[in-house]
Amino acid sequence: MKAFVAKVSAFAREEDGVALTEYLILLALLVGGVITAVTTAGGNLSAAWETWGSWWTGEVSAPAVTP
């Protein structure tokens, strides 16, 4: 049991894991931000495309064909 407690104490004092954890949290926040930005921009682009498409089909018509 003393060996287990000694290993847990040594692991708690080690600082390499703390730095890795901080970098992983930072990476997760950055990835979440990028996903949010891309999703928002995609939605806005889709809305703009739909508006333009509606205008194009409503305002612009093909020339009449006369036989």
Q: Is residue 37 part of a domain?
A: no
- Assigned domain for 9 exists: yes
11-37 tens-digit pLDDT? 777 766 677 888 899 999 999 999 999
Query: How many domains does the chain divide into?
Result: 1
Domain, as residue range, for 10? 1-31
Does residue 42 belong to any structural domain of this protein?
no
Q: Summarize pLDDT for 34-61 with one digit per residue, the tens.
A: 999 999 999 889 989 999 888 888 777 7
Count CA within 13 A, CB hemisphere, residue 37.
6
Is 57 within a domain? no
**Domain annotation covers residue 27:** yes
Alpha carbons 54 and 48: distance in angstroms, whole number: 10
- Exposure string of 15-50, with b = 16+ CB inside 10 Å and e = fewer, is eeeeeeeeeeeeeeeeeeeeeeeeeeeeeeeeeeee
Confirm whether 53 is domain-assigned: no
What secondary structure letter does DSSP report for 14? -
- pTM, to two decimals: 0.52
Q: Is residue 5 part of a domain?
A: yes
Assess if residue 65 is contained within a domain: no
